[in-house]
């Protein structure tokens, strides 16, 4: 999809990758952008930045973990711009820890990192299918293809997000619906601080801290959100399902599939190196 002349919704649009997507779409002549985020004030700032680039833009405060908010967001976008051509379901959070993470935190990260994409598909697919046209971009992570050392909830929910994106592509790909799945490794964003706030469901501004990056993900280099957005523009134009800003991820995924035992042993060694345990 070429975003020029198209109407776009970006969730998690107030910060990081979502913000960079909004501005890249505005620069490339999108007809309208809806910037959605828990952080309503941050969304308004990004909408103003996109408007300054000449793109009609509106901000919506929404908790993507709540289906009523997702439905209202889709309704607002359609009311404002007539249709949604591209929906970027990008909002996500991370929480550290393993199976000891309390059920409430598992439920919240599941709701944000997985269920939100289901709510989005429910809300926007009927109109897209009726037109035989539309595109859904789901931001998962390289953690959804490989794993996330130190965070079982992130690894599990991002794998589920990839599985959902694949299922949607297989099921609706022949009906004019494009699906893309964005799987970066480390990107300099505010994920650490915004996750703490989003896990509480707070709509207060994040007091963004300029970027936290996991040591595992940063092994292959840390990208700026603008570099990720450029990959998305290119991936959408090429109609690609898997968008990999870090190309190494394709190799790792192949190695994992070729020899799972060897891949697991390698990940154990990497974990020991990172935690200083060997």
Ligand X SMILES: NC(=O)c1ccc[n+]([C@@H]2O[C@H](COP(=O)([O-])OP(=O)(O)OC[C@H]3O[C@@H](n4cnc5c(N)ncnc54)[C@H](O)[C@@H]3O)[C@@H](O)[C@H]2O)c1
Tell me whether residue 32 or residue 225 sits nearer to ligand X (CB atom).
Answer: 225
Using CB under 6 A as the binding rule, the residues of this chain from 159 to 178 that contact ligand X are none
Alpha carbon distance 226, 224 (integer Å): 5
Tell me whether residue 34 or residue 38 sits nearer to ligand X (CB atom).
Answer: 38
Asked if residue 70 binds ligand X (CB under 6 A), the reply is: no
Asked if residue 60 binds ligand X (CB under 6 A), the reply is: no
Check 154, 158, 216, 223 and give the catalytic one: 154
Tokens of residue 186, six digits: 């480390």
- What's the count of helices (H) and strands (E) in the chain, helices before strands? 10, 7
Indicate which single residue of 1, 6, 8, 18 sits in contact with ligand X (rule: CB under 6 A).
Answer: 18
Alpha carbon distance 227, 180 (integer Å): 17
Asked if residue 14 binds ligand X (CB under 6 A), the reply is: yes
Asked if residue 187 binds ligand X (CB under 6 A), the reply is: yes
Asked if residue 17 binds ligand X (CB under 6 A), the reply is: yes
Q: E strands within the chain?
A: 7-11, 32-37, 56-61, 86-89, 134-139, 177-182, 242-243
Using CB under 6 A as the binding rule, the residues of this chain from 93 to 112 that contact ligand X are 93, 112
Tell me whether residue 32 or residue 42 sits nearer to ligand X (CB atom).
Answer: 42
Using CB under 6 A as the binding rule, the residues of this chain from 200 to 239 that contact ligand X are 206, 213, 217
Indicate which single residue of 57, 115, 169, 194 sits in contact with ligand X (rule: CB under 6 A).
Answer: 194
Indicate which single residue of 57, 139, 151, 169 sits in contact with ligand X (rule: CB under 6 A).
Answer: 139
Indicate which single residue of 121, 137, 145, 186 sits in contact with ligand X (rule: CB under 6 A).
Answer: 186
Asked if residue 148 binds ligand X (CB under 6 A), the reply is: no
Q: HSE (CB half, 13 Å, CA atoms) of 246?
A: 24
Q: Which residues contact 157 (CB under 8 A, 6 or more apart)?
A: 109, 110, 113, 114
Burial of 41 (0-12, 13-18, 19+ CB in 10 A): middle
Q: Which residues contact 55 (CB under 8 A, 6 or more apart)?
A: 25, 26, 29, 30, 31, 32, 33
Alpha carbon distance 65, 80 (integer Å): 23
Asked if residue 181 binds ligand X (CB under 6 A), the reply is: no
Alpha carbon distance 66, 211 (integer Å): 27
Asked if residue 85 binds ligand X (CB under 6 A), the reply is: no
Name the one range near ligand X by CB under 6 A: 22-30, 57-65, 129-137, 163-171: 57-65
State in angstroms the smallest separation of the CB of 192 from ligand X. 8
Tokens of residue 181, six digits: 């799945």
Q: Is 154 a catalytic residue?
A: yes
Site size with ligand X, rule: CB under 6 A: 33
Asked if residue 63 binds ligand X (CB under 6 A), the reply is: yes
Tell me whether residue 29 or residue 241 sits nearer to ligand X (CB atom).
Answer: 241
Query: Dmax of the chain from CA atoms?
Result: 57
Q: HSE (CB half, 13 Å, CA atoms) of 187?
A: 28
List interacting residues with ligand X (CB under 6 A). Answer: 11-12, 14-18, 37-39, 42, 62-65, 90-93, 112, 139, 141, 184, 186-187, 189-191, 194, 198, 206, 213, 217
């Amino acid at each position: 999809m070429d975003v020029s002349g198209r109407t776009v919704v970006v969730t998690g649009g107030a910060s990081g990758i979502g913000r960079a997507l909004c501005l890249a779409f505005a620069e490339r002549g999108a007809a309208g952008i809806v910037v959605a985020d828990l952080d309503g004030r941050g969304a308004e700032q990004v909408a103003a930045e996109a408007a300054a680039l000449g793109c009609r833009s509106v901000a919506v405060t929404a908790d993507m973990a709540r289906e009523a908010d997702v439905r209202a967001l889709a309704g607002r976008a359609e009311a404002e711009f007539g249709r949604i051509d591209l929906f970027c379901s990008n909002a996500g959070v991370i929480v550290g820890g393993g199976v000891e993470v309390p059920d409430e935190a598992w439920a919240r990260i599941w709701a944000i990192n997985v269920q939100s994409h289901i709510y989005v598909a429910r809300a926007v697919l009927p109109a897209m299918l009726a037109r035989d046209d539309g595109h859904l971009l789901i931001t998962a992570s390289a953690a959804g293809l490989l794993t996330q050392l130190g965070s079982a909830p992130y690894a599990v929910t991002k794998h589920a997000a990839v599985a959902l994106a694949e299922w949607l592509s297989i099921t609706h790909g022949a009906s004019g619906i494009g699906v893309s799945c964005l799987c970066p490794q480390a990107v300099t964003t505010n994920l650490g601080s915004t996750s703490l706030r989003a896990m509480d469901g707070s709509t207060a501004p994040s007091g963004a801290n300029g970027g936290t990056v996991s040591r595992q993900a940063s092994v292959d280099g840390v990208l700026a959100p603008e570099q990720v957005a450029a990959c998305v523009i290119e991936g959408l134009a090429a109609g690609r399902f898997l968008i990999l800003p870090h190309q190494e991820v394709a190799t790792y995924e192949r190695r994992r599939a070729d020899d799972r035992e060897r891949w697991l042993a390698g990940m154990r060694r990497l974990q020991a190196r990172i935690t200083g345990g060997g």
